[in-house]
Amino acid sequence: MIDNKKVLFSGMQATGNLTLGNYLGALKNWVSLSDEYECFYSVVDMHSITVRQDPATLRKRARALLTLYIAAGLDPEKNCIYYQSHVSCHAELAWILNCFTYMGELNRMTQFKDKAAKHADNINAGLFTYPVLMAADILLYQADVVPVGIDQMQHLEITRDIAQRFNGIYGDVFTIPEAYIGKTGAKIMSLQDPAKKMSKSDENVNASIYLMDDPDAIRRKCKRAVTDSVGEVRYSDEQPGVKNLISIYCACLGKTPEEVEREFAGRGYGELKEAVGEAVVSVLEPLQKRVAELEKDKSYIDGIIKNNAEKANYYAQKTLRKVQRKIGFPDRIR
Ligand code: TYM
């Protein structure tokens, strides 16, 4: 708790081009929860280097992501929006938690298996211990709630396991966090293969809508989305392509699947795709305009980066010092 408010933590990687999945599965919920909680939103640039990055591009993307958080509606005066790499406590706590995490647990992580298969020439130790750094992110701020898409659930579970293990040995040190999964949009699928999640690293550019896609590209990608030969607009597992389009429509406009089924009763897929395209444009176009405006104000963004790094450091250090004391590191001499 901070000032009688529960704490929320979440983060996104500054890697690749963000997709509509990142927005609908995470960022959009962050905004709707931000009044209720004391919030920490991190640009997790330390996680990004588990895959090789070009330095200039990483720096640029990290800044663009931080700007996007603000453009999406997170007030940086109220929410702590900061770069993970500006708070060294993340790395220090991750080291400690590494010593409380088992190889067997990490071996079961599906994201590790997927990424190791994708980057077979660079299966580094950081990729393997990635979930431990994520646990450190969350536990440093004593977060009660962590809004994420479904793909991050396994990482949330290991975070809880590590925290419970640590508390079991040393007493109540960490708050045990809960995942927050949105009702709609928690798993947006590829437009070209609705069995796969929409991902920034998909090689087929038509599979993903990128947050910075222009309106024509968005409409075109929706029009080309894979559907089926049933011919009915139904929210059903047997029609995964149509189900995904309905999910996107719902998450963009705040509708329920039942409402959408009624709206499109007796109408064809062409009309659905067109409506989905317009719904996505109505969400992304204003977002892109706000990003462009904010990018012009360099000193405003710089101020936020500085102030929020200080705030994050303050809270992170409180937890880290407590952990260090509990495990028996010598006291600092002042
Ligand atoms: P990342 O950067 O891959 O994704 C950021 C957020 O977007 C969600 N997401 C999706 N949601 C719905 N449909 C999709 N197709 C989709 N694709 C991505 C993700 O679930 C995530 O919420 N490991 C994290 C970053 C991280 C983190 C943390 C998150 C590091 N430390 C601490 C929460 C708390 C990741 O790689 O997310």
Q: How many CB atoms lie within 10 A of CB 72?
A: 19
For every one of its 334 residues, what pLDDT tens digit does the chain have, with 9 covering 90 and above? 888 999 999 999 988 789 999 999 999 999 999 999 999 999 999 999 999 999 999 999 999 999 999 999 999 999 999 999 999 999 999 999 999 999 999 999 999 999 899 889 999 999 999 999 999 999 999 999 999 999 999 999 999 999 999 999 999 999 999 999 988 888 999 999 999 999 988 899 999 999 999 999 999 999 999 999 999 999 999 999 999 999 999 999 999 999 999 999 999 999 999 999 999 999 999 999 999 999 999 999 999 999 999 999 999 999 999 999 999 999 989 8
Closest residue to atom 37 of ligand 1, CA basis: 12
CA of 27 to the centre of ligand 1 (A): 9
Catalytic residue from among 200, 311, 318, 326: 200
- CA distance linking residue 32 with residue 14, whole number of Å: 22
Is there an atom of ligand 1 within 6 Å of 134 CB? yes
Q: Which of 151, 243, 247 to mutate to test the pocket of ligand 1 (most atoms within 8 A of CB)?
A: 151
Q: Which residues contact 16 (CB under 8 A, 6 or more apart)?
A: 200, 201
C-alpha–C-alpha distance, residues 221 and 270, integer Å: 13
Torsion of CA 282, 286, 287, 291, to 10 degrees: 160
In the residue annotation, 298 being an active-site residue is answered as no
For residue 214, what are the contacts with CB-CB under 8 A and spacing of at least 6? none
- Centre of ligand 1 from the C-alpha of residue 69, in Å: 14
Rounded to the nearest angstrom, the distance between the alpha carbon of 21 and the centre of ligand 1 is 9
Best mutation site among 47, 148, 153 for ligand 1 pocket (most ligand atoms within 8 Å of CB):
148
Rounded to two decimals, the pTM is: 0.94
Q: Name the residue ranges covered by the structural domains of the chain.
A: 6-180+298-327, 215-293
Task: Tell me the CA–centroid distance for residue 328 and ligand 1, in Å.
Answer: 34
Given the CA of residue 185, which atom of ligand 1 is nearest to it? 12
Closest Cα to atom 25 of ligand 1: 12
Given this structure, which CATH class describes domain 6-180+298-327? alpha beta
H helices of 2-87, where? Answer: 20-22, 28-33, 45-48, 55-71
Name the closest-CA residue to atom 9, ligand 1: 22
- Judge whether 243 counts as a catalytic residue: no
CA of 24 from ligand 1 middle (Å) equals 11
Identify each DSSP E strand in the chain by its residue range. Answer: 7-12, 38-43, 80-83, 145-147, 178-180
Q: Is 115 a catalytic residue?
A: yes
Indicate whether residue 219 lines ligand 1 (CB < 6 A): no
CATH homologous superfamily, domain 215-293: Tyrosyl-Transfer RNA Synthetase (1.10.240.10)
Residue 258: per-residue pLDDT: 96
The verdict on the CB of residue 62 being under 6 Å from ligand 1 is no
Nearest to 285 by CA among 231, 181, 211, 235: 211
